[in-house]
Amino acid sequence: MAKDWLVPGSCWAPTGPPTTASRSSSPAPTAPSASPCPTAHLCELLLSPIFAECHRLIPPSLFFSTCVIDACRPEATCQSLEAYAALCRARGACSDWRNATGGLCNFTCPPEKVYKSCGPSQPRSCDSRTQTPGNKGLVEGCFCPDSHILFNSYTGICVPECPCVGPDGYPKYPGDRWVSNCQNCVCDKSSVSVRAGWPPAHVWTWG
C-alpha cells in the first residue's frame, strides 16, 4: 500500500544503511632513524692501513668493538685509539694516527716543542746524570725539535746547545752574569762553565 502514495514519475528504491567512505589504510609512521655519532667513523681507523704494522702483533677486533660502543662519546673514541696505539708502541710498532682524525683527537704541544707519536722515553738532555742507561722505550708526547736539546727534565726547556746552570737550576748562557752567595758569577764563553768571584763582588757596609 505504501507504493500508492508515490508521486507519479518519481523513483523509489529501498534504502539501506548509510554508506561510509572507506578509509585507505595509511602506513604507520616510522620513527626517524638515529643519526650516526659524529666520531663513529674514527673507529674504522683501527682496521685501516694506518695500523697495518700493528695488526700483525695485536688483533684490533676487541678495540674496534669497544670503540663502536663508545662512539657517541668523542673522548672515549680517542681513548680506544690511544689504548691500541700504546700497546702497539710498546711492541715497537708506531702509528701516526692522530693526523687522520680531522682534529678530533689532537695532541697539543707548547710552541717551542713538537709532537711525536713515537719519541724516546728518555730524550737527549744536557743533564746526563738524570738519564738511566739502557732505557730506550718509546712514548707519545711533546719533544724538543731536532735542532735543540732538552736542558733538563726539571725545567723542560729546549736549548740550542748546553749552557751553564744557574743557582735556580735554569740555563745561563755564555756572557750572562749573576750574584750567588755574595759572589759575582759569569757563564764563561770559552768553557761554558760558571766562574765565581770574577770580578770581585761589591761589599755594602752600613754606618
DSSP H helices, 50-133, are: 52-55, 61-69, 74-90
**pLDDT at position 11:** 42
Q: Dihedral of CA 193/157/147/144: which sign?
A: positive
**pLDDT at position 134:** 59
Distance separating alpha carbons of residues 100 and 117, to the nearest angstrom: 13
Low-confidence stretches of the chain (pLDDT beneath 70): 1-36, 38-39, 129-135, 190-207
**pLDDT at position 196:** 64
Give the end of a domain, one of 59, 83, 100.
Answer: 100
Q: The C-alpha cell of 37 is what?
A: 655519532
**pLDDT at position 201:** 40
One-letter amino acid of 96: D
In-domain check, residue 198: yes
What CA–CA distances, in Å, run from 130 to 48, 120, 151? 39, 15, 11
What CA–CA distances, in Å, run from 156 to 162, 169, 170, 176? 13, 11, 10, 20
Q: Kindly report the pTM of this predicted structure.
A: 0.67
**Domain of residue 140, residue span:** 107-162
**pLDDT at position 116:** 95
Give the end of a domain, one of 81, 100, 119.
Answer: 100
Backbone angles phi, psi at 160, to 5 degrees: -70, -30
What pLDDT, in 10s, does the model give residues 146-179?
999 999 888 889 999 888 888 888 888 888 888 8
Q: What is the DSSP letter of 84?
A: H
Distance separating alpha carbons of residues 136 and 184, to the nearest angstrom: 41
Beta-carbon-side half-sphere exposure of residue 177 (alpha carbons within 13 Å): 8
Number of structural domains the chain divides into: 3
Residue 132: CATH number of its domain: 2.10.25.10
